[in-house]
Structure 1
């Protein structure tokens, strides 16, 4: 889970409400936080795979909150 303040995004809540998911994902602050989330998920998946092998079919979720107005999600399925 990552958080981007409205100040960091450079936008206000009303503007964020009107934006679609693709436009939100394209915001530089959101892209940076998504990258951080992906890196964290990759480390965590690696540890779980080392511990449990291929027995788990994991689905990982990264979530970026834009203020308290919007959420941007990233879903990654791993395994067979």
Structure 2
């Protein structure tokens, strides 16, 4: 869980068991008002992209990762939180 978000992470995906310090720091700098298109490269479980979409429903979020387990995790994170986005 991250606030109101449920994060789904399969084994082997970066930061699978807990939020890493770097992502936590980055999230603390984001605020509402992000609009337009957002690209989350190396999305892992989709923490950043999902956080942005939840906080900014008007944003068009696309997430991408080279790791198939990460892609599946990000898709599930979006679905679990009833968020729209491309992975």
TM range (shorter): under 0.3
Which one has a bigger Cα radius of gyration? 1
More helix as a share of residues: 1
What TM-score results when the alignment is normalised by the length of structure 2? 0.26
